[in-house]
Amino acid sequence: MAEKLKLLITAGPTREALDPVRFITNRSSGKMGYSLAAAAVEKGFSVILVSGPVDSSVIPPEGLTEFVPVVSAAEMAEAVKSRFPAMDAAILCAAVADYRPKIMETNKIKKKEGAFFLELERTEDILFSLGQMKTSAQRLIGFAAETENLAENALGKLKRKNLDWIAANQVGLPGQGFQSDRNEITLYGVNGETVQLPLTEKKLLARQMLDVIFQ
Ligand code: PMT
């Protein structure tokens, strides 16, 4: 029997703490990444899902090889980079925070008179790191969430991060992208391929994406 394809998927947002009760995050619900994980299990792949904190209504699919819950970008980077060498492919769908507070206060920050300035520092770009680690036998797929210049920005990320495919989606529009059950994607491949996947349910879109990438 042929070996199952080993696929790592990231999903959901990360949370970057300021103090014990506050954090910076984004609107990712995890629906797109969890749909990809479900579609990959359906296809008979061995799937590891690394997920940031999502609502309890977004449930990991049955049949995963491993489910790894994480909170921060640093935790996600550690979980992903330690597992990637044993994978055939990875799809990074998580909306990872690009910045985190430089200092995580141990006590709750008290309000004072006047403005409050928060210093942020860069988090690790996990997708970029995987692009550096990738062997010629591994496939690496990223997402590009853009509010403008979708194609240009996505193609820049495809090249800069050494990807095989990038899934470009327009965000900031009602009824697609973050939180919605539906989405629209253009897949760009490293060999110049462009595949339009029109607006549809994320569950169906995930199957269509995997059919193109792993045909
Ligand atoms: O979760 P949903 O509500 O269903 O919404 C789905 C989605 C809109 C979040 C999803 O379709 C999507 O676009 N995910 C990627 C979001 C994102 O962070 O895109 P980006 O263009 O900022 O990042 C580019 C790529 O680098 C992504 O693959 C991202 O996972 C990765 N990245 C980004 C920053 C970072 N520090 N490390 C990363 O690995």
Average pLDDT score over residue span 115-134 = 97
- pLDDT (tens digit per residue) in 128-148: 999 999 999 999 999 999 999
Q: Which of 10, 25, 28 to mutate to test the pocket of ligand 1 (most atoms within 8 A of CB)?
A: 28
Among 25, 93, 155, name the best residue to mutate to test ligand 1's pocket (greatest count of ligand atoms within 8 A of Cβ). Answer: 93
**pLDDT above 80 (res 158):** yes
Total Cβ atoms within 10 A of residue 53: 16
Residue 2's pLDDT band, with cuts at 50, 70 and 90, is confident
| Cα 12 to averaged position of ligand 1 atoms, centre (Å) | 8
Residues ≥6 apart with Cβ < 8 Å to 3:
none
Has residue 185 got a pLDDT over 90? yes
Average pLDDT over every residue of 160-168 = 98
Rounded to two decimals, the pTM is 0.98
> Would you state the pLDDT for residue 1?
66
- Stated length of the chain: 215
Q: Is 26 a catalytic residue?
A: yes
Whole-number average pLDDT of the chain: 97
Tell me the pLDDT tens digit for each residue of 38-94: 999 999 999 999 999 999 999 999 999 999 999 999 999 999 999 999 999 999 999
Residue 25 has pLDDT above 90, yes or no: yes
Atom 17 in ligand 1: residue holding the nearest Cα: 95
| Closest ligand 1 atom to 35 CA | 4
- Cβ 70 vs Cβ 29: under 8 Å: no
Q: What is the pLDDT of residues 190-204, one digit of tens each?
A: 999 999 999 999 999
Which protein residue has the closest C-alpha to ligand 1 atom 10?
A: 93
Question: Tokens 């449930």 belong to which residue?
Answer: 59
Q: Quickly list DSSP for 33-73.
A: HHHHHHHHHHTT-EEEEEE----TTS-PPTT-SEEEE--SH
- Centroid of ligand 1 to alpha carbon of 96 (angstroms): 6
